[in-house]
Each structure stands twice: as structure tokens, then as C-alpha cells.
Structure 1
Amino acid sequence: MMNNLKTFFALLFLFTPLSQLSVAVERNCSEQKIPKNEKSFTLAVLPDTQFYCDTRLKLSKKWGNGDLRRYFFEQTRWVRDNHKRLNIAFLVHEGDIVQADAPEEWAIAKEAMSILDGKVPYCLCLGNHDMGFQKSNNKYGGDIAVNRTTHFNKYFPREKYAKTKEFGGTFDPKRHDNSWYHFEASGMKFLIVSLECKPRDEVLNWANKVVANNPDHRVIVLTHAYMRANGKRFDKLGYKITGNAGEAIWQKLVSKHKNVFMVLCGHASGEAVLSSKGDHGNQVHQVLSDYQNLHNGGESWLRYMVFEPSENKIKVYTYNPALDKFRNQPSSRFDLQYQMTTDF
């Protein structure tokens, strides 16, 4: 890592390994969890949902009969039913949508995500479990991310999402793997660039152009495998596919643009926040959330981020719609400072 490009903010550097998450006290939060005024709005975040769609490898059977799809539906129904109350402007999925790229798994994901259609705009990024699968004799029954072929494009086709007003474009004009979306909230323009797991150099070059061509947009980079639960960016990743890990994504894309303020990722079980300074002195909050190894594959835990422009804060909540509970430990409930009352 390059220390001259990175500043750690002690109050914002929060991380919890999964081993601690699994025993964390869960209780309802007493503080206000809805936007304070009409200028406030919310970004919903779905972490890894792979165990909810686990039909090929059936690793989810360690939690009973293995059919956990109800938790995926709980998540998207809750977002749909609360989008007006929370003023949810957009939803992102952090990847590992399915377990092993099986058509029947993608059918579950499509049904769950379609609950949001016409209600809440959304985009998804591809995780390692969403890419090419190959049977093998290992303990899991197969290898993931052996190539970039995926059934994702059949169940989440580019042509469907190109019809929405939030759609901006894709790296490949025929595929939905790498995309960008935009929306407006509280008089501000936002752009989300969604990148494949281990994005290739040519994908990062494309993303650089997208961000540079939209200097009046506040940018969130969405990618699956970016940082560990200890708050450090990945310097390398396994799998047969070749591409860039988190540190390289930071160096080649994120740090270069003054309008990038956040990175959202999953993959590594646990929670973490890393706040670093980009090349232009802008603060970039890099946020990890992944609950797949908790009971029932995550049991519907999700995140929502309330943007409060009057306070220049993003209030982050970790919520379980199936249990109607919040997590209150510092790694699960925290505020991020972000300037919204003046031009960035």
C-alpha cells in the first residue's frame, strides 16, 4: 500500500471479524432510524445472498433443510414496503448473488429482485460465486470463478435495465456484467459504477472514463471483493479468472477521482470501514458488509444508509427484516462524515 495516498481516520476505522459478529448482542435500536426531513434519503444495501439461492452445492443444509430463499424475499419485500417511509432512492447488491451459477439459483434471485421492479431502482455486481462453475472432486463439489461466463445475463439482461431512467451504460454493449447507473436525490446527482469481481484492466479503464465524464456526479464504486474484515484492502485474490484486487482497484480507479466518495463491497465475512484520502484530498469511505456465515446464511441481515444533508452525515444501520432487529455495536451502527451542504 502507498502510505502517502492513505489517511486513516480513527473514529471511522471500524471492523469486526465474523467470529465476533456471530456472538454480537442483537437488540432493537431506540434512536430514530428514518430520515429526519424531506431532504434526507436512503441507499439500501444487500450483502452476499448466495446461501439463499444454494441449490447446486447445497452447502446451506448445515442450517436445516437448506432452503433459505425466504430470507432473500424478506429483504426485497422489506425494501419495497418501506421505500416511501425511508425515502429509499436506490438499492445495490454487493455480489455473490447466487452460490454456484446454476440456472435454478438465478431463477430464485430474479424472482426476489423483481419484487423491487417499478418501486426501487437497483443494480447488482458480480461476485466470484456468480461466475463460471466447474464440477470437481473437492470438498465443495466444484470450483467457482473458473471463467467469466455466467447465467447472470440471461436472468438480469441488459436490455431490461437499459429501459430504466437510471441506467447509464455498460462496458460491453451486449452484457450487463459491468454497468453504471445514476439517480438524483436532495438536489444532488449520484453515480454508481458496478464492477465485476477482480475487474480487468480494460474494465477499470472504462470505469475511469465513466467517472471522468460525469464530474458533477457523486460516485459510489460497487464491487464484490475489495477489502478484508480487518479493514485492509486485498492485495491479491485467488480463482482462475485474472484481474485486479482491492488495492489495485484503489490505485487504478478509486483514488484518482475527486468525486468518488464511497466503495461498497462484500465477499469477506464480517464488517469493516476504511476511510482513505484520494489523490485530490477527498475522503473515500470503503465499507464492507457480509453476513453469509451467520446463522441461516445471514438470515436476511442487510444495511441501509440514511443520507442527512443538513448534518453532512451518512447514518449506517444494520437491520434484519426477518427478525425485526438491529445491530448496535460500533461496526454495525455508525455515522460517516460526508459534505453535502456545499459543492464537492
Structure 2
Amino acid sequence: MSRTSHPGPGRRSLLQAALAVPAVGAAGAVLGTQSAQAATAQPSTAGSGSHRFDAESPRFALAVLPDTQYLFDADSADPEPLKETFHYLVAQRQEANIAFMTHLGDVTEHGSEEEIGLAADTFRTIHGKVPYSVLAGNHDINSGTDDQRGDTAYLRAFGPQRFTSMPTFGGASPDGYNSYHVLQAAGREWLVLALDWRASEKGLAWAQGVLDAHPTLPVVLTTHDIAWAEDNGQAHLSDNGQRLWDRIIRGNDQIFMALGGHYWPPGRTVLTNDAGHDVHVHITNYQDRYYGGAGMVRLYSFDLVRQVVDVETFSPWFLARDPEKRTPLEAETIELTGPVDRFSLDIDFVERFQGFAPVVPPAPRPASRVMPRGTVAYWRFDSSGLAGAGTAGSAVAAGTVARDLSGHGNDLRVQLLHDSASKALTWSGDHHAEQPAHASLRFDGGKSPDRGAILTTAAQAPLNSLTFTSGFTIETFIKLPEPFEGDHAWMGILSWEGRNGDAGKTTGWSTEEPTCSLNVTPERFLQFVLYPHVQDADPTSWSHALPVGRWTHIAVVNNGHRTVMYVDGSQIARNPSQPATGIATLGKPFVIGGTQFAEQFGQSFYGWIGDTRIVNRALTPKDFMAPLA
């Protein structure tokens, strides 16, 4: 069904690359028709050949296929574009991140036995290779009926019996026209709810039952008719969409996205549900485009790391053509790049799902569980490591001891710099989600005048003289304040005291620098400066700009030959290739919260510092305090 015609053509270029991800999972509780196989299916992370996917990856894609009716239109039918779309999804399942495909209805133009039969045969291209759902549009059945219409050619071809072998299939309504699938993706389950063109009262009651049986699953609702759009892409609920909104969507916070076809042009809007949360409502339909849309598909690529959904729209049929032989219409319909066809949605998934599936933070880990072989020092600022810990915002007085929980005697003692007040260092319960201890210290260091606080080892602490010639791993957690106010250029996170010149080093920026320090530059880059025990060198690692208002895990790893810095488990680019064996310590104290120059502290750190650990060998990221999965 048409509302207005589609605006002008998209750009004439190849789709640059597919997006990568995965998933499929176990069926949930059974409602209505469901096979025994679906009831017992378990989440999978593998398939055969190119069909493999990773259900634990934080990135996955949902393929959305709208109105294909003009490809199955009596004796003018041509299934080839849709076959090519299915070939693409199968071939790209691993590399293009395809977890699931959902069809939005109007599979055919007239719903005849012949059209439905040809469509059902075309779907065999994808069947058993990528899980999918299909729902009836007004052209697939008698449009004057609802889901209680009884037997139809559509139901015989695309009813529950078609999906029972899929591990994602959860069940269907007793009438067979509504269904749901449960996907395992990004380490959790998601529900796709596929509703008929016109859901009856019984159908809506069934849908509510599905939601009630899966109260913690985020839901993508799919149906044929939910919204129409103006020429500028601004979408509005249709009459049927308003009914679905009032009866099923607005009161179920789980439904964060609702997708429909039927109308054109495509469009989108964001509505606010009864819980005060966003629901993204989109129209996807290209039947008015050249060749009836040519099997055009959308990929909704979920990225739970970046907390976005990236959307792109393209035709695999035209994409597969020889560029030199594409006609102008084919070339301009390969990919659509207007604001309703190619866009990104910012979704804080944890916050959005908090009301129905709150994230339970990891419990604190005892010190004994985070001290691998070779741990020479470990400090944490909860009650196990810091006397008086526990009152947010309370001052940590000068002289307070932070115990070295490794048992090697490298206790730290608080020292206020210059004329700093006691509030230069305070206790906080703020912490990185993966940090073993749920506590940190808040440093209020700065310039003009220099101020702050540091923690230092005693004069005779063993750590002061360790040279680490077999390698080391130094880890810490930090957070920079938001807003990041004042001048804090070159503030230190941790260091050893002393002058590298006194260690006989001649190659550095200045002989007044300490022999090892981790600092923050004016651009908020990390700088790790090392003067090795063996070489006369100063290999320096530089990170990207750190975010503010967010915890960061830092690890500096040396294998006895070379140093590599990791930020949040990812190796940075600017790691020096210079040989570096050991640390040229001078028997002087180790410090958290500052870096000397010419054996003097100016400012101290500005922000939060959490658990800090030093190990006398190179660790891999899976062994970090914030391990990669």
C-alpha cells in the first residue's frame, strides 16, 4: 500500500563492507503451537562452514526484509532478486554479523496458491542456514480478516510447521498467524515478536502472554502495518499502529523497537512509553523502487560496546552485478543513504533495559583471587586494604596506610603535597565494573598552585629496588572527571622516584625525569616512559585520548624485550619497538598519584584511581584484573 512516492535516488557506490556478528539461541517458554525440538533447543555458537556465528560477541545484526510482493505477482513474478538476498545473508552470516532475518509481510501480491508456492520455494534458499520469521501482510491473505481467518495458502506455507526445526522458534498463537523467536546474541537472549497484519483480541492476548512469560528479554516487535511517514521521513502511527501502541507496546517496557512495512516512503520516529523510555518505530518498504525494491534488505547492526545500532539499506542483487554492466537504475539502487535509510541509533542498552532486566554488577573479588604467580604488589582501597575506608567523600588523612595485599611489604602511605588540605584525597565507592574491589581514591590534584596527594612506599620497601629484567605487568584503573576542569597537563598516575640521569641514562628528553612513569598529557593521552635497566634508551608508549567520566583499565606489559600498553584490553598503536629490558630503579620509593621532575612533585593526579597491581612477568589480556571474555 502506498501513501506517497519515494524521494530521489541514493548514492551510486558500492556498499563498502559487511558488518560482522552473530547469534542464535534457545527457545523460551512455550505458548501456543511449538515443537518438542524448539522446546529443548540450546543456544549455539557454531554452524557449518560460512554459517558460523558467535553468540557471545557484543556485535550482531538483525536483517529486516520488507514487502517483496512485486517479485511474486502472478505471471510477472521474478524470485531471483530475493534469492540473491538470501544467498548474501547466508554467505555473509559470519562476516556480516547476521543473527536473524525478519520479513515484514506482503510476501506476495495476491496471496494465491501459485504465488505463495513460489515464495515458499524461494525461502528454501535461506532455510536451515539463517533463522528467520515471516508474518502475513494484507496482500498475503484476505485483508478484511484478522488472525482468526482460518486456513489459507499463506498459513499452509508459512505457518508454525515451517519454523519448528529452527532453534530460535519459541512458539505460535493457536491460530498460527502470530509467532515469536528467541535469539541468543551479545551474551544474552532477545525476543522477536512477529504479529499478523491484523491481530485479534485473542492474538493480542497471546502476545501479552509471550511477554509475560519472558519478562527480562528485550523485544523487537515486527508487524506489517504500524506507521506511515511524511516525505521528510517523519513517521506517525497508523490506526492499527495506534491500537498496537495502546494495547501492547506502551505498557511493555521490553519493547524497545517496532518495525513495519506496508506504507512508503520509509520513515522513523521515537515514542515514549509508559515507563518514560524510548521506543524506536520504523517503516521499511521499497516496493515503489526500481524492480519492486529488488529484494532490498536492511541490516540493523547492534554494537553493545559502542552502544549504537547502525542501520544500512542495500540490494544484494544489484551489488552482485558487474559494475561495468550495471544500468543507471541498478547503479542508483544498490544502496540507499538518505537519513531514513542509513543512520545510527544511540542506545544505552544497560540503562534502556534496566527497568525489566537490571544488570547485576559483579561481586567484589577477594584479593586471593587476583594475585597470579609473580605478584609483587597489590593495592586496593576497600576495607581490606585501606584503614577507614567506607564513607564516600571522607578525607583520607596524611599518614594513612594502604596495605600491600601481596604480603611483600610494599605498603603505601598517604602524603599531602605542599599546603594541600586534607580533602586533596578522599575515599570513594566509585569503581570500574570489572574492578576486583568496589572502591577507589579520588585525587584532587592540580596546578596554580600545585596541590594534591600521593601514596608512596617506605624507604626500604622491596619494590623500590626491583629491576624486572624478566618482564613485568603494571595495571591500574583510572577515571578522569567530567567536566575535566583546570590545567592538569602531565599529571602522573604512578612512577618510581629519582632521576634517570642518576641511573646513567642519556637518551631521554631530560635526565631529570624519573626512570619509569605513567602520565596523562595535555590532550589526555596516556604516556608511559621507561628507562630500561639494561639499555640506555627511553622507549615511550602513547595512547589515544582518554574519555572523561568513564573508568579505564590500563595495563603495561613487558616481556623482557619490549613494552606494550593496553587500554581496556586493547593494544594501542603507539608502542615502541625499541628493546627494553627491566626498569632502572634506584632504590627510591614507588608512587601512586604523581610523577616527579628533578626529584620534586608539583601537582598530583586529578580523578579516581582504583586497584593497582604489579606482577614480575608478562601477563596476557585474559589474566588482567579486567579480563577479556
Same fold (TM over 0.5): yes
Distance 1:152 1:20, change over 3 A: closer
The alpha-carbon deviation at position 52 of structure 1 amounts to 0.7
Distance 1:269 1:30, change over 3 A: closer
Distance 1:299 1:281, change over 3 A: same
Secondary structure of the structure 1 residue equivalent to 2:222: strand
Q: Give the match for residue 49 of structure 1.
A: 68
Q: Is the 8 A contact 2:208 2:248 kept in 1?
A: yes
The alpha-carbon deviation at position 194 of structure 1 amounts to 0.9
Q: Give the match for residue 233 of structure 1.
A: 237
Q: Give the match for residue 116 of structure 1.
A: 126
- Equivalences, count: 297
The alpha-carbon deviation at position 213 of structure 1 amounts to 1.8
- Encode CA deviations 1:71-102: one digit per residue, 9 max, x unaligned: 12122111111111112111000000111111
CA separation in 2, counterparts of 1:178 and 1:125? Answer: 7
- 1:220 matched to 2:220? The reply is yes
CA separation in 1, counterparts of 2:166 and 2:18? Answer: 29
The alpha-carbon deviation at position 32 of structure 1 amounts to 5.7
Q: Is the 8 A contact 2:60 2:303 kept in 1?
A: yes
Of residues 3, 9, 27 in structure 1, which corresponds to 2:12?
Answer: 27
Identity of aligned residues (%): 26
The AA in structure 1 aligned to 2:5 is S
The alpha-carbon deviation at position 27 of structure 1 amounts to 2.5
Structure 1 unmatched runs, 5+ = 1-16, 59-65, 133-143, 236-244
CA separation in 1, counterparts of 2:145 and 2:337? Answer: 39
Of residues 171, 177, 184 in structure 2, which corresponds to 1:169?
Answer: 171
- Encode CA deviations 1:171-208: one digit per residue, 9 max, x unaligned: 11xx4311111111011211111111121122112111
Distance 1:127 1:297, change over 3 A: same
The alpha-carbon deviation at position 167 of structure 1 amounts to 1.2
CA separation in 2, counterparts of 1:160 and 1:302? Answer: 22
Q: Give the match for residue 261 of structure 2.
A: 266
Q: Give the match for residue 333 of structure 1.
A: 342
CA separation in 2, counterparts of 1:74 and 1:163? Answer: 23
The alpha-carbon deviation at position 169 of structure 1 amounts to 1.3
Q: Give the match for residue 80 of structure 1.
A: 90
Q: Is the 8 A contact 1:29 1:328 kept in 2?
A: no
CA separation in 2, counterparts of 1:254 and 1:227? Answer: 13
- Encode CA deviations 1:51-71: one digit per residue, 9 max, x unaligned: 11111xx6xxxxxxx332211
The AA in structure 2 aligned to 1:219 is V
Higher normalized helix content (fraction of residues): 1
The alpha-carbon deviation at position 315 of structure 1 amounts to 0.5
- 1:101 matched to 2:120? The reply is no
Q: Is the 8 A contact 2:66 2:284 kept in 1?
A: yes
**RMSD of aligned residue pairs (Cα, Å):** 2.1
Q: Is the 8 A contact 2:145 2:198 kept in 1?
A: no
Q: Is the 8 A contact 2:227 2:263 kept in 1?
A: yes
The alpha-carbon deviation at position 146 of structure 1 amounts to 5.5
- Encode CA deviations 1:143-174: one digit per residue, 9 max, x unaligned: x54673521221124234123221111111xx
Q: Which shifted more, 291-300 or 84-93?
A: 291-300
Q: Is the 8 A contact 2:67 2:261 kept in 1?
A: yes
Q: Is the 8 A contact 2:228 2:236 kept in 1?
A: yes
The AA in structure 2 aligned to 1:332 is D
- 1:285 matched to 2:289? The reply is no
Secondary structure of the structure 2 residue equivalent to 1:92: strand
The AA in structure 2 aligned to 1:283 is D
CA separation in 2, counterparts of 1:67 and 1:323? Answer: 18
Q: Give the match for residue 252 of structure 1.
A: 247
The AA in structure 2 aligned to 1:41 is F
Distance 1:186 1:267, change over 3 A: same
The alpha-carbon deviation at position 306 of structure 1 amounts to 0.5
- Encode CA deviations 1:276-325: one digit per residue, 9 max, x unaligned: 11111221101111111112111221111100111111111001111122
Structure 2 unmatched runs, 5+ = 22-53, 320-333, 355-629
Mapping for residues 57-68 of structure 1, pairs under 5 Å: 66-68=76-78
The AA in structure 2 aligned to 1:232 is H
Q: Is the 8 A contact 2:15 2:314 kept in 1?
A: no
CA separation in 1, counterparts of 2:69 and 2:257? Answer: 24
Q: Is the 8 A contact 1:83 1:120 kept in 2?
A: yes
Q: Is the 8 A contact 1:130 1:145 kept in 2?
A: no
Of residues 301, 304, 307 in structure 2, which corresponds to 1:309?
Answer: 304
Q: Which shifted more, 92-101 or 155-164?
A: 155-164
Q: Give the match for residue 189 of structure 1.
A: 189
CA separation in 2, counterparts of 1:339 and 1:113? Answer: 35
CA separation in 1, counterparts of 2:138 and 2:217? Answer: 29
Distance 1:186 1:263, change over 3 A: same
Secondary structure of the structure 1 residue equivalent to 2:266: strand
CA separation in 2, counterparts of 1:79 and 1:116? Answer: 8
CA separation in 1, counterparts of 2:78 and 2:297? Answer: 15
Q: Is the 8 A contact 1:312 1:341 kept in 2?
A: no
The alpha-carbon deviation at position 33 of structure 1 amounts to 4.5
Secondary structure of the structure 1 residue equivalent to 2:276: coil
The alpha-carbon deviation at position 268 of structure 1 amounts to 0.2
**Structure of higher RCO (CA pairs closer than 8 Å, 6+ residues apart):** 1
TM-score of the two chains, using structure 1 as the length reference: 0.81
The alpha-carbon deviation at position 229 of structure 1 amounts to 2.1
The AA in structure 2 aligned to 1:265 is G
Q: Is the 8 A contact 1:27 1:328 kept in 2?
A: no
Secondary structure of the structure 1 residue equivalent to 2:228: coil
